[in-house]
Every structure is written in C-alpha cells, then in structure tokens.
Structure 1
Amino acid sequence: MRLSICIPTYNRAKFLPDLFDSILAQTGYACEVEVVVSDNASADDTQAVIERYRGKFDRLVYQCASQNMGADWNYLRIVELASGDFCWLMGSDDVLEEGAIAAVEQVIAAQPEIAGLSVGRVIRSFELERRREERLAKGLVLSDSGELHGADAIFRSLAAYLAYLSGQIVRRSLWNEVVEDSPVSDYFNAYVHVYVIGRMVQRCPHWYYLAEGLVGWREDNDSFLSDGEYNRLRIDVVGYEQLARGLFGAGSPTYHHINRDVSTGLLFRRLLSGVIDAAPRSFFTKAAQLTFPLYARYPAFWIKTAPLLLLPRPALRLGRTVVKSLRAAS
C-alpha cells in the first residue's frame, strides 16, 4: 500500500520544514510513503525548501503553478499529482504527531473497504507548543473511534470536522472518479474537498473516524483570515449551506442537521474569535444579517450562538476579558 501525503501550499516556506521533519520522524510503519506538494505560485522560498528536503524523502513530488489558481483548485490538483492508494490531505502549516502514519496504516489494513477516514487533532500554538487534544469539534456527536455507514450518518457526525483539511485521508481512485464526473467547480467555496468526500461516501458509504490525535493543528494561522474576519465567517456559513443543499437537498433532515451544527460550531467559534479580537460592531451586525435568516429556525442557535450577536458592547468586553483569562489559565 502506498500513502501519499498531499500538501497544497502557498507562501508557507517558513512552516514547511516543521511538517517535513514530522514526516521524516515517523516510525513503525511498513507502507510506502510519498510526499506530494502542489505550490500555488508562491512568491517566497518554497522551492528552496523543497530542494533542501528532496534528498531526504524516498519520493517527493513537487509542482509549482504559473499563477495562483485558488485553494480549491489546489486541493484537486494535489490529488492529481499523487500516486498512492490513499491520500492524506495536509495543510502546509500543520504537523504529523508521533506514530500517525503507523496508526492510519493499521486502520486501512483492517478496514479495506472504506472510502476514507478522519483523524483527531492536537491543538498547538503558533509555535507548535501542545495545548490540548481535540477529537472532534464541539457540537458533534461522535467521540470514539469507529466505522460509520451511510452518507447521511457520516455527515451528521463529521460534516463540520471535514472542513479541517489535515484530518482527512481519502481513497484516491474513488476521489478521482467523483472529480471526473461531478460539477466540482460549482463548489469552489474553500471547501471543495468536503463536497468531493460527500459524493465519495454516497457511492461508497463507509468511513472511519480515528479519535486519536494524529495531526498537530497550528492554531491562529488561518490563511483565509487575510480577507477579514467577516469574509472568513461567510466562507463557513455560505459554503456549508451550499454543500448541504448540493449533497442532500434543501430541506432534508441532513441538510438541517449540518446547518444546525455549523450554527453552533464553526459559526460560534468565528464569533468568539471576534469577541476575543475586539472586532468592530459592524462585524457582528453583518454576521447577524447573514446568519439569522438561515439559522433562526434552530433552537440551539438561539441558546448558544445568538447571544454573541445580540449582547451589548459592555457585555462583549466583559466576555472578552473572561475568555482571555480562561485561555491564559489553561
């Protein structure tokens, strides 16, 4: 079995060595491993980093685009370049934890029929200091390792977590089939990989969740924040509504389940970040205008998330102080 570690990247030269070193440090596995990097026309020293590591890997594939084609294009391109039976989609600023490849190899050997698997993550600081282990984003129902069957069940358990690129490993042949005959370009919303996985599990409705933290997530380094906090929030809200509608149909139980999870998970965390970062009131006003029409039907939204949109500024300032104190204590 060959495992391709697929790394789409753009201007991440200063982070790639951490990832490469974490791959080189892996032990205890027998499968063949290739490292594949698709560079979206980086203007930094990415190519120099690649050349420095080229002789350290048994197989390192690197291709650089002539211009930046966007993140979604790069997610598809990276799998095109790979040759493994399975592809581990990997953010270029994250790292593999100790024993990660061996653990994934063991699952694939025991569950050969799966379309892919998701793995837990370890939350690390920007400097990669360990903070805590997070098996699933808050609000989701699955907490222990196990196989999931049926596209609806898979997305009800994992939909929001599938947004995390580095936590997903896919069967390359099935991925390629979906990309070949599905309207993937309609879902260039930063989450095209979630759409492809959705179509994969509709064809092969078997997915595995490995709860062990196998990926180190570098927190506070979201490249999509470069366009501002509101636009980052909008990617989650609009993108996931489109995905849920396209995969399961507007109004279906799974459609509502996914949107409800986003309203109390991804959206809640974006708003909480806005509180912590002292975002202007206009951020919360625009967020309310975007989200209330979509999520007002869900009681959980009103209980957990809506207060962040409705609280007066003094309360938000107090909340910001409390959250920062709790983070410092942890």
Structure 2
Amino acid sequence: MNKIIKIGTRDSELALWQAKTVQAALEKLGHESELVPVKSSGDLNLDQPLYEMGITGIFTKTLDVAMIKGDIDIAVHSMKDVPTALPKGIVEAAVMKRANFKDILVHKGLDFLEAEGTIATGSLRRKAQWLNKYPEHKVVDLRGNVNTRMNKLEENSWNGAIFAAAGLERIDLKPDNFINLDWMIPAPAQGAMLVVAMEKDDFCRDALNALNHSKTKIAVHIEREFLKKLEGGCTAPIGALATVKDEIVHFKGALFSIDGKQKFEMEKEVAVEEVEGFGSRCAEEILDNGGRELMLEFKKVMKK
C-alpha cells in the first residue's frame, strides 16, 4: 500500500530547500509526500552560543520527538548537525550526494588579514582554526540561520564571517566578496544531507534507500566515526574530511584547543575495502599523540 510520506524539516530557507530536494527525489521515484516544518530549540534561542546550551543535537532533537510521536515519517538534516548516536528507534535511511564541503569567509575587504581584525562564527571548530592561523584576531559569536547571519554581518563592524559554502550556494546567497578557506578542515559530514526514518518503518526505509550516494556515505561515516571516537559533540573543535577517489580514501583530521593554540592533526590513506574502523584508528592516533589530555580539558570547560 502506498502512503503519503510526511517529511519533517526545520523551517529556515536552507532547511526547506533541503527537504524539498528530498521531496523531489522521492516524487521522481513515484512517492507522494508533504512537508511538515518544525522549529528547533537551536533556532529559537539565538542569544546563547551553541556550546553553552549543553544539548547534543540541538537542531535535530525536535524533529526526533516529532518522528517518535508519529507526527512525521522522515526528517531531513544537514548531516554535520546530527549527533553520532541517533535516538533509539531512529536510523539513517539515506545519505545524499555531498555538495561543496568547504568553509568560506564572507568579508568586507581583506586588508585586516595582516593586521587586527574581528571575525564572526558560532562554531568552536571554525573559531579554533581561525585563531590558530590568526592569533591576533578576535572571534565573536554569530548565531541564526544563514539569512540571519548574513544580515548580522552587514549590520555589524566585523571584518567578516565564516559560513559553510554549501548552505549559501543552495539558496543562492553566496556573495561575490568571499574567499575559500582551503586550509580550514570542515566539520565531519559538512555539505552532506542525511534523511532519517523510524527503524520499523520498512516503507519509508525502502523508498529512501534509492537516494543513497555510496561515495558520500563511505566518506561521512569515516568522518563521524573519527568524531565519535574522539568523544566530541557536534560543537567540539574537531575537523575531519574524507574523500574517495579511484577506490582510495584520503582522510585528514584534526583536534584543536578552543583558543587555537594547540593543534593535533593527521593524514592517512586507505583502500575502500579496508575502511571498517578506519575513522576510529585515525582518532586513536590523535588521542595517543596528546589529544586525550586536550579532550579531557575540553569536557571540563563544557561542564562549567
């Protein structure tokens, strides 16, 4: 029996774009669906930095609850916002093809790079990497959806703000005054979209299985395994990027102190058929080379 698939999504322009992309893909396969927009607590509280709110999966929790209650059948997320451990009964149903994974700097001129400057970002990972490269700069908190953050950049005297390229590209908001931060390691699964469903919902899981992109799925699972082994939540200063080419996976991962003064980085390659446990092994290398002590310090700071 066919059914109308209720697609849960945050109600920002970007989240709706992502949900509509999944909706179009499902309809192409012959499935009927409807969008069910939901506000998350991460969207409602814009005055407090994410890491201070102390909630794992702050942008996904509301949709998780709606799915468990049966208000929606599936949910579409930016995969980088999804905790490495999903709630009981909820499973990955599709990993969509990855878009641009890079971070970019939207700026008001680049003279400040060689002098004092102020950069805005709500991400500890971006903050730590920026301060690692530009220790003389100041980094201020910036919250809200991409439209809100772009407006705040215009309204303030900051020199620039850091964004995920994919988010701006998807809703045609990427301005001319940007530079690619090729040196910045992205968040695990940045640029990828994840669709989740209830484990017992065979209909939706079967429907979504056709949307999986195998190379993206391999890459983001390695990155998220790396993150999980380091025991960092979505807000920890951890970067990870895996790319798959000619059946070889190239991985680069790093852990930073919040102030950017400490950096533990590694790079490795592995054959695709040997990826099982690869992310964990890479994380172990970071932990064994000083990262373990840094993660303990980080957790103490987060508990305060």
TM-score scaled by length of structure 1: 0.30
By relative contact order (CA 8 Å, sep 6+), the higher-ranking structure is 2
Q: Which has the higher helix share?
A: 1
